[in-house]
Structure 1
Amino acid sequence: MKSSPAWNNSLRLLSGGRFLSSAGLTGISPFIPYYLEEMNAGTPQEVLLWTGLSVSAPALSYALLTPVWGKIGDRWSRKWMVVRALVGLALSMMLMGFAQTPFQFFLFRLCQGAFGGISDASSAFVGSHAPADRRGSALGTLERASAAGLLAGPLLGSLCVHLWGSRPLLFLTAALTLAFALLAAWKLGDAQQSDRQVDSSQVSRPPALSAQTDGRGGIGHAFRSLLSHPMIGRLVLAGILFKLVDFATFTMFTPYVRELIPSDDAVLFVGLLLAMSSVGELLGSSWWGKRNDRRPPERNLKLAGLLCGVCVLAHAVPLGVAWLIVVRLLQGFAYSALLQTVMLQVLDSSSDRDRGVRIGATNSLLMAGQLIGPMLGVRIGGLWGLSSVYVVMGLVMLSALFLIPRSSAAAKKAAERLPLQSTKKG
């Protein structure tokens, strides 16, 4: 099945939305403490408290509401869920720009997680509209757009804050996102039926991934069907561990680099090393997506997880900045494969009637790793030292590989050999 010009245009629009969302979120996040100080949030301790609450607020509300939006998208329209997510993000950013107190800012950050969610909406759209043989590469393209936003957001955000301040940055991001939402409403192909004469997941889905649901269950049923699936349940658990490792190490990265480089240049090196990780994701996302269309995704997941785990462990080897630049680049390249491959398997295990709610439920479960990871990283670093965080988390990453099942093709061949072996024994 060849991709149509209409689908290519839709993919470009989705990629633009993912880029804007990612750049907008990462553009403001580093400057939240400064913004709160402008509001006279109180003592430095109170500023830190409100910063922590504001940073974690979107993840909490997102985890609670993303399955609800997925269910609505299954019943209504996945195009309008994309538009809704962009409008929700734009309005939340605008409200944050009008916030006068830390509590108001915190509430609007909750709204950001509750009413945004372009990642889920675009993934569900891809699952229902992408040609069967292009679904992996389409997800890779979206991940590449997100990685580009992660790279560009802090750079553009710092420039805007330096020139105009934090509030204009929020208003500018809101205006751009709202304009893109209007463009998506006008140009994004809905194609609930026209772009797919049959459910493409039924065309390409391996037998081992067949959905164990008729698509009519509620949100609770979506969670149960994911976790009870013999293959998808293990992949989702692996995804939670991947997220846990990522956020545990990210939380401790700045103090760890400062410990390695005790000088005024440490801040510059932190920015450089974080950027190298984003460059790795930018280079790897599309490559892994295309590879998932050609090779068994489970094998790709094991290969990427192995490389990522080794890179996390390599952080604990103090060989200098040049060493960390290479390690961060390779880690970003490998990490870009992990969550998109898990999501691809969820898409392939879903029917068109429950794809959105299962994607939402998956991302809700993955949020557990994002919420637990920072606390665990701080705890391990406090007990055994900062380098121990990377040793422990590297081992956790490698242990997660044991959760990844054999590829469906390999399992099928093994099953075909069993009768032959029993016959020979007989």
Structure 2
Amino acid sequence: MQQWKINIVVLWIGQFFVNAGMTMIIPFLSLYLKQDLGLTDTHKIGVWAGLIFAANFLTSFIFQPIWGKFADKYGRKMMLLRSGFGMAIVMVLMGFAQTPLQLLLLRLLNGTISGFNPAAISLAASATPKKSIGFAMGTLQSGQVAGTILGPFIGGLLADSVGYRPIFYITGALLFLASLFATFLIKENFNREEANKKPDISVIAGFIQLSKFKPLMALFTVTFLLQFAMMGPMPLMPLYVQELHGSTVNLAFWAGFVSSITGISNMVASPLLGKLSDRIGSNGILLVCLLGAAVMLIPQAFVSTVWQLIVFRFLLGMFMGGLLPSVNSLIRKFTPDGMESRAYSFNSSTLALGNMLGPIVAGALSGNIGIQGIFIVSGILLLFNVLWVWTTLYRKSRGSKTSSTT
């Protein structure tokens, strides 16, 4: 097997465990707070659960660009291993938490040392032949999505069989093994001497420099709005499903199915659309999928049955499957040499920001416009993003690496 393919396989496994580890606590977090950490008041449990879940995304949003700067200076593989082994240790420590505050601080620390996903994407982008970059990005995307989807499912199964605390130990051990595989199997062509010759600029200065490449700003916005549109309705989805279902019979099953169907179709479509983008170009795939995602969001506000909602959620996931792989391919295309890791880290920050702000903003707006309004607003925002992408990525005078940065 060619080395770049070995890299992709090992990185896929690592991304699966990283994303599964981040979402595995969803089914039992409230119960863990109540039964193991001593909380009894329902309101306090809800507040702590929300803070603990969001904490990881908050610090991840702040620190991703910092680790991206170090990756461009010291190598992507080093940052990959730093993140993998670090999160393995923190995950095990979560199993020893005795108070909600300790668990919150550990989740904040986990987000602080994270950076596995952008390092993996940057490493794959730099080591994969140009003709296969779309396939590589799509495959890695499927690993992220698979971990995100199956994480809560695996967490729920383990909680029933081994209890809550052992789940953290098991997850930490799997992260450690994945990082160990990466240590010995992944190879990176990185010239540290050449990297050290380049000027050492701050994170803010790096962002200002990258912001001069207009397509990158449009691509970062695609990532943010996509996560915002996906995560925003999620806390409200069970209530919407109950309204459509008209009964409480099997309500949990239908709510879970509706929430997961988008990720399943995304996981299936990502490698296929990534491979297609290698043949016809990432620009076209990005525009079609972005428009398709916007169009699939709006009808969800007008469905009358759960099955109609499932169909549109499935189609939404298919279009989403082509978005992040295309975004990652195009980021590599438009980013100046030597700043790839930094660009992917900023993109990962916008993803974390979308994950964090989506539920918060949607919850604040839902009292006035309902979940139906959230779907419509998200769709309209994506349509505006289509126009922005069109006017930046398709202007011949802008956006290439050879463009003037002045």
TM-score (norm 1): 0.86
Deviations 1:187-233 (A, max 9, x none): 1113326xxxx99xxxxxxxxxxxxxx77533112211232322222
The AA in structure 2 aligned to 1:124 is S
Structure 1 residues 96 and 141 mapped into 2: Cα distance closer, same or farther (>3 Å)? Answer: same
Asked whether 1:148 is paired with 2:132, we answer no
Contact 1:281–1:336 (CA<8 Å) still a contact in 2? yes
* 1:101 Cα deviation from its structure 2 partner: 0.2
Contact 2:232–2:359 (CA<8 Å) still a contact in 1? yes
Structure 1 residues 160 and 223 mapped into 2: Cα distance closer, same or farther (>3 Å)? Answer: same
337, 344, 348: which one aligns with 2:333: 348
207, 220, 233: which one aligns with 1:223: 207
Bigger drift between 262-271 and 172-181 goes to 262-271
Measure, in 2, the Cα distance between the counterparts of 1:392 and 1:66. Answer: 28
Deviations 1:368-407 (A, max 9, x none): 3333221221122111223222122222222221111358
* 1:90 Cα deviation from its structure 2 partner: 0.9
308, 314, 318: which one aligns with 2:293: 308
Measure, in 1, the Cα distance between the counterparts of 2:16 and 2:222. Answer: 26
Measure, in 2, the Cα distance between the counterparts of 1:108 and 1:43. Answer: 22
Measure, in 2, the Cα distance between the counterparts of 1:156 and 1:376. Answer: 29
Equivalences for residues 190-201 of structure 1 within 5 A: 190-192=188-190
Measure, in 2, the Cα distance between the counterparts of 1:84 and 1:255. Answer: 41
Structure 1 residues 278 and 366 mapped into 2: Cα distance closer, same or farther (>3 Å)? Answer: closer
Determine the structure 2 residue equivalent to 1:125: 123
* 1:285 Cα deviation from its structure 2 partner: 0.8
* Structure 1 residue matching 2:26: 3-state secondary structure: helix
* Structure 1 residue matching 2:322: 3-state secondary structure: helix
257, 260, 266: which one aligns with 2:241: 257
Determine the structure 2 residue equivalent to 1:16: 13
Measure, in 1, the Cα distance between the counterparts of 2:222 and 2:267. Answer: 22
> Structure 2: any 5+ residue segments left out of the alignment?
399-406
Contact 2:72–2:340 (CA<8 Å) still a contact in 1? yes
The AA in structure 2 aligned to 1:141 is T
CA RMSD of aligned residues (A): 2.3
Deviations 1:15-41 (A, max 9, x none): 110111122222222321111112112
Determine the structure 1 residue equivalent to 2:401: none
* Structure 2 residue matching 1:318: 3-state secondary structure: coil
Determine the structure 2 residue equivalent to 1:368: 353
Determine the structure 1 residue equivalent to 2:283: 298
Structure 1 residues 215 and 341 mapped into 2: Cα distance closer, same or farther (>3 Å)? Answer: farther
The AA in structure 1 aligned to 2:280 is R
Measure, in 2, the Cα distance between the counterparts of 1:395 and 1:163. Answer: 44
> Structure 1: any 5+ residue segments left out of the alignment?
200-213, 415-426
Equivalences for residues 212-251 of structure 1 within 5 A: 216-251=200-235
Measure, in 1, the Cα distance between the counterparts of 2:241 and 2:160. Answer: 25
The AA in structure 2 aligned to 1:247 is M
Contact 2:135–2:271 (CA<8 Å) still a contact in 1? yes
Measure, in 1, the Cα distance between the counterparts of 2:224 and 2:218. Answer: 10
The AA in structure 1 aligned to 2:9 is R
* 1:162 Cα deviation from its structure 2 partner: 0.6
Measure, in 2, the Cα distance between the counterparts of 1:327 and 1:144. Answer: 20
Structure 1 residues 413 and 389 mapped into 2: Cα distance closer, same or farther (>3 Å)? Answer: closer
* 1:181 Cα deviation from its structure 2 partner: 1.0
* 1:316 Cα deviation from its structure 2 partner: 1.5
Asked whether 1:182 is paired with 2:148, we answer no
